[in-house]
Structure 1
């Protein structure tokens, strides 16, 4: 071989090596980065060109895909939009996805590993690939009752099946219309996005499971009472202190009970039973009770209820918390649901659910079933125990005390004729010169039908006036169906 031919052969060889190297790099090494690049329109068109499975409640699609006459292939639609938006989230060609659309994206798009054989079957049969159907556990009647009752308010409502953990209602208000973000008109989507993010009412926040969380106020007394019963030192009939005022240990601050504008003791001789203290929502009783129980036992009980645990239902849930390394003054304030207590409505519904389920907390779940387009079942809800903060006998005592709250205490507005209803109201202070948040946490049961519920209304004032009637409407929708 002469010298010129050797040079040509060497150049061609180098070019082949470079071509092989660059092809390998872009197709293997850089594949993920290039697919995720915001300017890669092919990835965008592939993503939105798939037929996405519907999200279903009670057999009706609340999110579905229809063919669009544009380059994206399919348009995601929501009906009714705002009522379910905190759960479904949005699926936007501009802003991606949130909610169930995000957490179950692989399932809805048909790309999940569990759908592998279904994809192969579609390819072999020549069918267009379709995503799986996600059936939610939500009860449409309970969802609408909560939505209607929260109209014009800021807050959230959550209802659970205490025996399975199925989420029966999850409403956050105010909400938004996900269709405004799902539109293929990118200019309109951008305007909607800006308006939603600039809105001081924070409609994109799912207040039921996230956001800044809330002080629970007197609703937290349910956790304190549970810890006291579990200590073995108390029963519902135990007599505990209940003075009209209580000077916090090592502090000049004074905690009061208020009745009609006056500071009042919780019973004769500044004492009452535990049941009576809960019925009256006596602050000083629970402040002293929390100190007597101690931080360790109170924290352990709260953790069994789910506090501090990171849950995915499959939506990510912000953990509820109480303070740590507390002195007695801080522990007293913690025990009436203030200081550093921060909870989600979902967490408080879990607390209520434990009493209706013999002391066992079930893991909350939003997905009832996943099915392929030919109705084959991929997965179904499987109830899972999360913790047991109190025994069945102590749970029965808690139910008895909570029924007293509804029958002849602060929770009368939650009563339903012919139904065992137990609960606890809360009025949670959270800022100077601000109205308190309104809480109701409780359960209802009739025959084999059970429901646990938690409602918070921001700056709603007394829980007995604002949150309790909302909880009643939600429970009634499930029990009377």
Structure 2
């Protein structure tokens, strides 16, 4: 006869309490295990991924070729298999030419510019690249890197780069009606491929580039602000017309020469004759400082600041898609300072991109399109993933004022200081600027030129350009926007108009 263990009663459902307790405990452990796995894989996944000690994500990031950045339908980037743990290194075609646009993608120093703002697409992590994004999240699968199609005109980009040569400076070119960025150049430049990889040469290149006196890694076209000098007179003239301070561009103005700055013993003079009581047309053609300084005072601080803001000054939110340093026009200046600010001196500062927007607003009937650099993003196979859509449009001045400003800018090229920008077969408008800077204005001036061009067989202007040349390599008295910067703008405008003609636009 078999004897049952003491305490075990088979007549009771559920068996021994000890077994039941053990079973419940195991279930609780299983629930805790599943809960912890869920917490780690879903709730805390991002913190683990972003932990600097976790190299798996970094290894996965460079385990496949990166997507490409395209200009004119051709790739200006590539990827090369290094055979190292961080396997694929970024390569660049014409690296210095496009560095102000592409930025760099470095295993050691991260990403900048388009390589940074479009990293999700280029690295293949953007869910839009996948037809099954949730499955990719669960499996940690990575799509092939997508491509970035830019708005750049390769011929205009090269014309700007070659025009600047070895000088410090920058060029921005826009399509006025759309805000498409056609050229974005900063010199001197650098080859971003020098920062790809993990060996000691990358560290040496980084140190050398950051210590260089001419700052090749400074993106002058979007990150550096300069006193815009007389190119700012476009805004002052528009403000005077909008405010009704000037109603007839050919009528004499009440403008003494020299002009004593209000509340000051300092006197402002001109470098040309005929500026006393000159008309707005004459003053614009020959860049009379006294006329525009007084016009700024007559318009007043609120009117000047409002017009500058309408053109894009003091905007801290601009992205193209990477951020652009804000251009500034002070609103708290006294009348003497306002006079100087109104001729692009004192604390008025602008990026070359901002001044291209000023010219584009004149060309586009007074409206400003927010600039954009990305035409669309695609999969590796070329299927469109996204497009930027309509860009914000805001009015800088009335259409009637824009018509007057186009006349003044065209006159400045036809008869005034901007004659070096003239093109056959096109109407060109422009404004020169020679901006003083440094302690007591001791530095060599900055040479500026802003312009727009419309082919004779076109209904609308096709391009707006801004050029700045720092410390132009010439005798101080010979440095000018018309002499140093206008020929560069002319070359860029010519390439854009030729391209539009070739496309039948």
TM-score (norm 2): 0.86
1:356 aligns with 2:374: no
Q: CA deviation at 1:62?
A: 0.5
Q: Do the aligned partners of residues 165 and 118 (structure 1) sit closer, same or farther apart at CA in structure 2, a change above 3 Å counting?
A: farther
CA shift for structure 1 position 22: 6.5
Please say if 1:340 is aligned against 2:353.
no
1:160 to partner: Cα distance: 0.3
Indicate how the Cα distance of structure 1 residues 154 and 118 shifts in structure 2: closer, same or farther if over 3 A, else same.
farther
- 1:302 and 2:308 correspond: yes
Q: 2:236 aligns with which of 198, 204, 224?
A: 224
- Say if 1:440 and 1:464, in contact at 8 Å, map to a contact too: yes
Using the alignment, how far apart are the partners of 2:132 and 2:194 within structure 1? 33
- Is 1:366 the counterpart of 2:373? The answer is yes
User: Which of residues 438, 443, 447 is equivalent to 1:434?
Assistant: 443
Matched, 1:190 2:203: yes
- Using the alignment, how far apart are the partners of 1:265 and 1:119 within structure 2? 70
Structure 1 match to 2:298: 292
Q: Kindly indicate whether residue 166 of structure 2 is the aligned counterpart of residue 143 of structure 1.
A: no
User: Which residue is 1:254 aligned to?
Assistant: 267
Q: Is the 8 A contact 1:160 1:349 kept in 2?
A: yes
User: Is 1:206 matched up with 2:219?
Assistant: yes
Residue 145 of structure 1, CA deviation? 0.2
1:362–1:383 contact (8 Å) kept in structure 2? no
SS at match of 2:444: coil
SS at match of 1:404: helix
Match of 1:408 in 2: 415
CA distance in 2 between partners of 1:187 and 1:14 (Å): 53
SS at 1:387 equivalent = strand
Q: 1:363·1:383 contact (CA, 8 Å) conserved in 2?
A: no
Aligned pairs (5 A) from 1:44-83:
44-83=58-97
Give 1:330 deviation, angstroms.
0.9
How big is the alpha-carbon RMSD for the aligned residues of Structure 1 and Structure 2? 2.7
- Offset at residue 230 of structure 1 (A): 1.2
Deviation at 1:252?
A: 1.5
Structure 1 pair 57–121 and aligned structure 2 pair: CA distance change class (3 A): farther
Shift of 1:391: 1.7
| Superposed displacement of residue 21, structure 1 | 7.7
Whole-angstrom CA distance in 2 between matches of 1:411 and 1:224: 18
Q: CA deviation at 1:27?
A: 4.0
Does residue 476 (structure 1) correspond to residue 494 (structure 2)? The answer is yes
Q: Distance in 2 between matches of 1:121 and 1:6?
A: 39
Question: Match of 1:154?
Answer: 168
Q: Which residue of 2 aligns with 1:274?
A: 280
Q: Secondary structure at the residue paired with 1:272?
A: coil
Taking a change above 3 Å as real, the CA distance of residues 265 and 368 of structure 1, as seen in their structure-2 partners, is same
Q: Contact 2:270/2:288 (CA < 8 Å) preserved in 1?
A: yes
How far is 1:147 from its partner?
A: 0.5
Deviation at 1:53, TM superposition (A): 1.4
Give 1:17 deviation, angstroms. 9.1
Offset of 1:112 from its aligned partner?
2.1
- Structure 1 counterpart of 2:194: 180
Further displaced range: 456-465 or 108-117: 108-117
The 3-state SS of whatever aligns with 2:97 is helix
Q: 1:377 to 1:200 in 2, by over 3 A?
A: same
The secondary structure found in structure 2 opposite 1:465 is helix
Contact 2:221/2:353, CA 8 A, preserved across alignment? yes
1:242 corresponding residue in structure 2: 255
| 1:365 shift after superposition | 0.5
Measured after TM superposition, the shift of residue 415 of structure 1 is: 1.1
Report the CA distance shift for 1:404/1:427 in structure 2 as closer, same or farther (over 3 A): same
| 3-state DSSP of counterpart to 1:239 | coil
Larger deviation: 185-194 or 21-30?
Answer: 21-30
List gaps (5 residues or longer) in structure 2. Answer: 1-6, 8-15, 473-478, 500-505
Q: Which has more radius of gyration?
A: 2
Instruction: Give 1:279 shift.
Output: 0.5
Contact in 1 for aligned 2:417/2:432 (Cα 8 Å) = yes
Question: What count of residue pairs does the alignment treat as equivalent?
Answer: 469
2:223 match: secondary structure: coil
Distance 2:417 2:390 in 1: 33
Higher strand share: 1
CA shift at 1:210, angstroms? Answer: 0.7
Q: Could you list the per-position Cα deviations for residues 43-92 of structure 1 after superposition, in whole angstroms to 9, with x for gaps in the alignment? A: 11011123321100011100122444232232211101110011101111
Is the contact between residue 94 and residue 186 of structure 1 (CA under 8 Å) also seen in structure 2? Answer: no
TM-superposition CA deviations, 1:374-394 (whole Å, max 9, x none) = 322122343424311112221
